[in-house]
Chain A
């Protein structure tokens, strides 16, 4: 066959595309590793015993599931889970409902001052959180709502500028013919909204719901300010309290972290597309 023949075969076998594939998958694995390692480390830590935690092993010798049981003993986990779910759920539902109403109004209905009002809305999007937190705190105080579940629910319940912006942009992309047909059939604006547009708005509504849920669930500053009693605390608050009270009890802390992580992870796997779309849409819409 000769040298040239062998070279030709070698050239064919180690095609550039194969090399490219290998480097690609290596890079992907490395990146995935970076994304996962803290969580994996937390899992591994959560299964170690107090003494074992100092050893540099990845897998614990005897998984200590008792750490997880301890979490429930050390903090009212179920209660907090319930609270987080309650707040996130109420606010998400409220946001979707009221923001879609307002979004529809801004997109399709005609009323005086509509456009200037919307510009004002957009303006509030730019205001950083820090400026509004203090007055909101004071408002709650004056209303006597501090340390009640209402403090967590009311501010977001009737929707936000952002949510309205999202829904309006979305409604604008729907074809006008849908409504025109309904108008010809004699529907009132409310009926148009309820029967025709809302079913079509599912993707945007889903994205907004998921985004809102995640934001409320993960919120830390606001619960920190508003809540004193443990019975209405959220999971985020619970974790930080634990962190403060049981310093360096790593296995239990890690177990708690993983437990708190799980519900959102579940939501993420189930609603991943809505998740990503929510973020992408907010990104590109801006």
Chain B
């Protein structure tokens, strides 16, 4: 049957792991010795683990610190790119370029940009007489740097989606708005943004899911231990550590499921909020 191979793959690599990891979370296992059933012990120690609260806080900060700027910036960028002027496709190609770059390359390159002694940013700051900033070395700055890189990485992705949504808005609406007296900014705020609400919501959800689980970028940019003094110790890193460094598969699985649960709740809340926000907006117009 047509579906068989595909179905088998999905079952083996998706459905089975789902169940298995849940199962594992109730055990202590290190792959070498047989698993030992411990019930909810993993979950209990997780909650009391100080590293967990650090990781959780870091992940939350990271998520907010990347999703919000990403949305704002990509709205603006998509708005600027949403025109039919000469050469616009060149600009679009350039803006979407970072999508083709792997996270690893991004991280390595930005490490160079952030380099305390001879990175581009500090050089440019030097031109305006501001002292060098220890971007990746100082715990206070590490998270900010990480967020910056992530935003740089995420904006093109969000822009692609928002731009596609913007292009679905009929030209006639803008003409009517121009006749009604709306200037550029007004048109953007009153017409473009409300009409791409769905795409914005989608980007928000996807971005939150990505940010919450981030691993690649964090690992390569600030190291496997979560940066200077755990400044960038996020949940993704924590899980990796416990699973593949400490070989505590049960514990790591428990962590994974906790993350899943949080994400699920967040997504549901968002969907509800989205619906309510839409209703509120209509009243604000009156």
Contact = CB atoms under 8 A, between A and B. Distances in A.
- Do any CB atoms of chain A lie under 8 A from CB atoms of chain B in the complex? yes
Interface string B15-56: 111101100100000010000000000000000000000000
Interface stretch (A5-13, A178-186, A199-207, A271-279): A271-279
B10 interface: yes
Q: Main SS of the interface on chain B? A: helix
B177 interface: no
11 contacts: A28-B81, A42-B112, A101-B3, A111-B1, A132-B13, A135-B16, A136-B13, A137-B243, A137-B244, A158-B5, A158-B9
A21 B253 CA distance: 55
B160 A257 contact: no
Query: For the side of the interface on B, what is the size category?
Result: 35 or more
Contact of A279 (B16, B20, B160, B260): B160
B195 interface: no
B135 interface: no
Interface string A232-260: 00011001100100000010011011001
B2 A99 contact: no
A111 B7 CA distance: 14
B206 A130 contact: no
A161 B14 contact: yes
Interface of B: 1-3, 5-10, 12-18, 20-21, 24, 31, 77, 80-81, 83, 85, 88, 91, 93-106, 108-113, 115, 117-118, 120, 123, 126-127, 152, 156-157, 160-161, 164-165, 184, 199, 202-203, 206, 209, 212-213, 215-216, 219-220, 235-236, 239-240, 243-244, 249, 252-253, 255-257, 259-260, 263-264, 267
B13 A105 contact: no
B118 A98 contact: no
A149 to B, nearest CB: 17
Contacts of B105: 236, 239, 257, 260-261
Contacts of A239: 104-105, 108
Interface stretch (A60-68, A69-77, A215-223): A215-223
Contacts of B12: 139
Contact of A240 (B97, B220, B235): B220
B5, B96, B157: residue with the most chain A Cβ atoms closer than 10 Å: B5
A131 B17 contact: yes
A283 to B, nearest CB: 4
Nearest to A29: B91
Q: Main SS of the interface on chain A? A: helix
Nearest to B209: A128
A187 interface: no
Given A128-B209, A250-B115, A264 B17 contact: no
Contacts of A45: 112
B100 A267 contact: yes
Interface in A116-147: 117, 120-121, 124, 126-139, 141
Nearest to B101: A261
B2 A240 contact: no
A283 B164 contact: yes
Contact of B85 (A24, A129, A160): A24
A240 B6 contact: no
